[in-house]
Chain A
Amino acid sequence: MAHPAAPEIRTETMVLNMGPQHPSTHGVLRLVLELDGETIIRCVPHIGYLHTGFENTFEDKTFHQVIPITDRMDYLAPLSNNLAYCLAVEKLLGLEVPERAQYLRVILVELQRIASHLVWLGTHGLDLGAVTPFWHTFRERDMILDLFEGISGVRMMTSHIRIGGLALDILPGWADQLREFLRIFPKRVDDYEGLLTRNRIWVQRTQGIGVLSAADAIALGVSGPVLRASGVAHDLRKAEPYCGYERFDFEVPVGQNGDVYDRYRVRLAEMRQSHRIITQALEGLPEGDFKIRDWRYTLPTRQEIKTSMEALIFHFKFVSEGFSAPVGEVYRPIEGPKGEIGFYIVSDGGRKPWRCRVRPPSFVNLQALPKIAEGRLIADLVAMIGSIDIVLGEVDR
């Protein structure tokens, strides 16, 4: 016990500017840390280094033109962004999407979830010094990118979901390629688990680190795997099903302690569940249209344009001036790989969104970082940043 007359003995603290150029801030996040030795006393995230003004750009684009811009926000999950946006616009227009399109959308966004989690697992491992999983996860991610390339022609900024359906139907052979991936993937997840789950050092580095209680998680508005690792079984695919998720049989993995290890376990379990959903969706894939046949809201097919005068006129009008949406405001969130992503769109009856605001999961989840980081070591901070899985393109928009 300190002598009452003695002043409180404290050592000098050091202010460390971590980022914006730093190997493990996953982009251009800047953290101003006040350190006492290696213990973090204060952690203040500074964001905005990747601010691109997407939301403002949306206001200057027709509803259709917005879609490829949404890819650039969470560039590790462009299809999820596409889907969130398209669902919001479809809700505004009151469109009903054909069943085949819904199944294909589910397959695509679940593949996207796996791809996003694979990048997360690899880089998270790198942060903690485990270099090998990185290459393995990127090998599997490459298979998914090949699938995306096969369906849309693009690997990275895959922009395939359109208002009212998809840009194109799948090509012959694509389903076999997907089946091959589905056959291999579960074994590969076992491999990742074999490298990490029971690894003593991995467990020591992650268990009990960055604990976020369920109450704190809800108060901070955290969503996605981070929320579920804290023990809250909230998943928009179950809570507010879209694209017919209620048809599929899957579980929502939940953690107990809300630490880095639980987030790791939850994401790995989610990959297995996504695999389950894709398998079901591929088996039950119905025949039919891959987009609505209302040419006011979607591009007519090539075949139609070449054979029908009306379709050609619709095509011209769609491309040159777009379509106008009814007056109103909508919000339709989906469960993206990183959490709840939703587009809040206000329409004044024109051809462009009057205002479009994105609810980005990374931005909201990042709020939890100071909460879980303070009082911990700087080495743990790296584990914690990795475990909340942010993409700065989405944080800054």
Chain B
Amino acid sequence: MEYVVMAAKAVVVFALVSGSMPFIVWAERKVMADAQARIGPNRVGPFGILQSFADALKLIFKEDVVPTGIDKRIFYLAPILSIIPALITFAVVPYGGPDLKLFGYPVGYVADLKDVGILYVFAVTTLGVYGIVLAGWASNNKYSLMGALRSSAQMISYEILLGLSIMGVVIGSGSLSLVEIVQAQATPYFGVIPGIWLFAQPLGFLIFLIASLAEANRVPFDLPEAESELVAGFHTEYSSFKFAMFFMAEYINLLTLSGVITTLFLGGWLGPGVDRFPILGVLYFSVKTVALVYFFIWLRATLPRLRYDQLMRFAWKVMLPAALINIFITAYWVAR
């Protein structure tokens, strides 16, 4: 029975996550348009909200151009490899507390991996880089190859920062489970300030935020697909639905990372009244996540792109020392 519940939850979460992706794309287009003194999509459905569905439909019906001289198996495998990790990360992100029960079963999360939780998140998101590297390699295109090389270097560098920046949170919470990390944020500081890790770990939060921008290939770290230099980077040769899969993976990644940040630093499902009405937790979680997504879109409308070497220098010479200092301070604080 437990497995049935688990499967049901997985299906619902999968549907919600991938179903929200068209709306994120729409929101991005609308927010960007607003920043850029335009109107944005406004033809398909009310406020153009169905624009993404129309685009997806169009992409499916497009001719699937497969260039010659490619490594066919890898070429087909790459988009799949990039979308799967994006989707399965959400399995451990708690969107509602353990009190949120339906027929006696906790439905606030798909799975609570007590021992590995956060490690699972990193293990899976790291897999996403394979999709990009293999796509660039299999395409037999110089621009793709360069995009892939850039992204592998970038993602591996920022992966380390992602790992290091949450060490403070992990030390403070004393757990790797995402549910327990959220629960550790329930006690307010001095009785008034919300106990979320954002306030206790501002440096860690900042580093994690920046690193996740790089992880999701968002501006100002969107070098793997810097269209002004590399045409389209790793997905230059992809068309039709294979392109759509890369596109979807990118936006689902954005959503997933926002969810992870919410969980780790913004108190996940926590909020006023959650202990009495656990269902409110889902609302709080969604609001926080959407706010982060909005923040990422806002950044995209504002910032130019960093250069490749500046990006690497920033990672290794600025962010890495800062993350280490953060760990030392936290460790000292906890051990005191």
A residues apposed to B, CB below 8 Å: 14, 16, 22-24, 38, 125-132, 134-136, 139, 195-196, 199, 201-202, 204-205, 377-382
Which residues on A sit within 8 Å (CB–CB) of B68?
A: none
Contact status of A195 and B307, CB under 8 A, knowing A16-B142, A38-B146, A131-B32: no
A295 vs B32: C-alpha distance in the bound complex, in angstroms?
55
Known: A23-B227, A201-B305, A204-B306. 12 other contacts (CB 8 A): A38-B308, A125-B304, A128-B305, A129-B219, A129-B228, A129-B304, A131-B36, A132-B35, A132-B301, A134-B36, A201-B306, A381-B229
A-B contact pairs, 17 of them (CB 8 A): A16-B142, A23-B231, A38-B146, A129-B220, A131-B32, A131-B301, A132-B302, A135-B37, A139-B37, A199-B304, A201-B304, A202-B304, A205-B307, A379-B223, A379-B308, A381-B229, A382-B229
**6 A-B pairs with the lowest CB-CB distances in the bound complex, closest first:** A129-B305, A135-B36, A130-B304, A24-B228, A127-B228, A128-B304
Q: Which of B32, B229, B231, B304 has the most chain A CB atoms inside 10 A of its CB? A: B304
8 Å CB interface, B219-246 against A: 219-220, 222-223, 226-229, 231
Q: What number of residue pairs across chains A and B have CB atoms under 8 A from each other?
A: 76
Shortest Cβ distance from residue B297 to the other chain A in the assembled complex, whole angstroms? 12
Which residues on A sit within 8 Å (CB–CB) of B226?
A: 129, 379
A395 vs B283: C-alpha distance in the bound complex, in angstroms?
59
Q: Which of A132, A134, A379 has the most chain B CB atoms inside 10 A of its CB? A: A379
Interface residue count on the B side (C-beta < 8 Å): 27
Shortest Cβ distance from residue B216 to the other chain A in the assembled complex, whole angstroms? 15
Contact pattern, B 117-138, Cβ under 8 Å of A = 1, otherwise 0: 0000000000000000000000
Find the A residue at minimum CB distance from B146: A38
Which residues on A sit within 8 Å (CB–CB) of B142?
A: 14, 16
A212 vs B303: C-alpha distance in the bound complex, in angstroms?
27
**B231 in complex: contacting residue of A22, A134, A201, CB < 8 Å:** A22
Shortest Cβ distance from residue B301 to the other chain A in the assembled complex, whole angstroms? 5
Which residues on B sit within 8 Å (CB–CB) of A131?
A: 32, 36, 300-301
A131 vs B35: C-alpha distance in the bound complex, in angstroms?
10
Shortest Cβ distance from residue B10 to the other chain A in the assembled complex, whole angstroms? 37
Shortest Cβ distance from residue B154 to the other chain A in the assembled complex, whole angstroms? 13
Q: B101: CB under 8 A from chain A? A: no
A208 vs B228: C-alpha distance in the bound complex, in angstroms?
20
The answer to whether A130 touches B303, judged by C-beta atoms less than 8 angstroms apart, is yes
Which residues on A sit within 8 Å (CB–CB) of B305?
A: 128-130, 201, 205
**A379 in complex: contacting residue of B32, B35, B229, B302, CB < 8 Å:** B229
A125 vs B146: C-alpha distance in the bound complex, in angstroms?
22
The answer to whether B309 touches A129, judged by C-beta atoms less than 8 angstroms apart, is no
8 Å CB interface, B191-242 against A: 219-220, 222-223, 226-229, 231
Find the A residue at minimum CB distance from B222: A129
Q: B38: CB under 8 A from chain A? A: yes
Shortest Cβ distance from residue A214 to the other chain B in the assembled complex, whole angstroms? 26
A202 vs B219: C-alpha distance in the bound complex, in angstroms?
13
A201 vs B219: C-alpha distance in the bound complex, in angstroms?
11
A59 vs B333: C-alpha distance in the bound complex, in angstroms?
84
Which residues on A sit within 8 Å (CB–CB) of B301?
A: 131-132
Shortest Cβ distance from residue B283 to the other chain A in the assembled complex, whole angstroms? 32
The answer to whether A380 touches B36, judged by C-beta atoms less than 8 angstroms apart, is no
Find the B residue at minimum CB distance from A386: B228
A390 vs B309: C-alpha distance in the bound complex, in angstroms?
27
A382 vs B301: C-alpha distance in the bound complex, in angstroms?
20
Which residues on B sit within 8 Å (CB–CB) of A126?
A: 228
Which residues on B sit within 8 Å (CB–CB) of A199?
A: 303-304
Which residues on A sit within 8 Å (CB–CB) of B36?
A: 131-132, 134-136
A379 vs B224: C-alpha distance in the bound complex, in angstroms?
12
Which residues on A sit within 8 Å (CB–CB) of B306?
A: 201, 204-205
8 Å CB interface, B99-154 against A: 142, 146
A14 vs B144: C-alpha distance in the bound complex, in angstroms?
14
The answer to whether A201 touches B303, judged by C-beta atoms less than 8 angstroms apart, is yes
A136 vs B300: C-alpha distance in the bound complex, in angstroms?
15
Find the A residue at minimum CB distance from B307: A379
Find the A residue at minimum CB distance from B300: A131
The answer to whether A24 touches B229, judged by C-beta atoms less than 8 angstroms apart, is yes
The answer to whether A377 touches B307, judged by C-beta atoms less than 8 angstroms apart, is yes
Which residues on A sit within 8 Å (CB–CB) of B223?
A: 379
A74 vs B223: C-alpha distance in the bound complex, in angstroms?
32
Shortest Cβ distance from residue B225 to the other chain A in the assembled complex, whole angstroms? 11
Shortest Cβ distance from residue A228 to the other chain B in the assembled complex, whole angstroms? 24
Find the B residue at minimum CB distance from A204: B310
Shortest Cβ distance from residue A29 to the other chain B in the assembled complex, whole angstroms? 14
Shortest Cβ distance from residue A294 to the other chain B in the assembled complex, whole angstroms? 47
Shortest Cβ distance from residue B2 to the other chain A in the assembled complex, whole angstroms? 48
Find the B residue at minimum CB distance from A127: B228
Which residues on A sit within 8 Å (CB–CB) of B303?
A: 129-130, 199, 201
The answer to whether A377 touches B309, judged by C-beta atoms less than 8 angstroms apart, is yes
Find the B residue at minimum CB distance from A126: B228
Find the A residue at minimum CB distance from B143: A16
A127 vs B304: C-alpha distance in the bound complex, in angstroms?
9
Find the B residue at minimum CB distance from A209: B307
Which residues on A sit within 8 Å (CB–CB) of B307?
A: 204-205, 377, 379-380
A130 vs B303: C-alpha distance in the bound complex, in angstroms?
6
A155 vs B189: C-alpha distance in the bound complex, in angstroms?
63
Which residues on B sit within 8 Å (CB–CB) of A24?
A: 228-229
Shortest Cβ distance from residue A373 to the other chain B in the assembled complex, whole angstroms? 13
Shortest Cβ distance from residue B295 to the other chain A in the assembled complex, whole angstroms? 16
Which residues on B sit within 8 Å (CB–CB) of A136?
A: 36-37
Find the A residue at minimum CB distance from B35: A132
Which residues on A sit within 8 Å (CB–CB) of B300?
A: 131
Find the A residue at minimum CB distance from B32: A131
A4 vs B261: C-alpha distance in the bound complex, in angstroms?
54
Shortest Cβ distance from residue B153 to the other chain A in the assembled complex, whole angstroms? 11
A380 vs B307: C-alpha distance in the bound complex, in angstroms?
8
Which residues on B sit within 8 Å (CB–CB) of A196?
A: 304
Which residues on B sit within 8 Å (CB–CB) of A195?
A: 302
Which residues on B sit within 8 Å (CB–CB) of A204?
A: 306-307, 310
Find the B residue at minimum CB distance from A378: B229
A381 vs B229: C-alpha distance in the bound complex, in angstroms?
8
**A201 in complex: contacting residue of B32, B35, B220, B227, CB < 8 Å:** B220
Shortest Cβ distance from residue B276 to the other chain A in the assembled complex, whole angstroms? 44
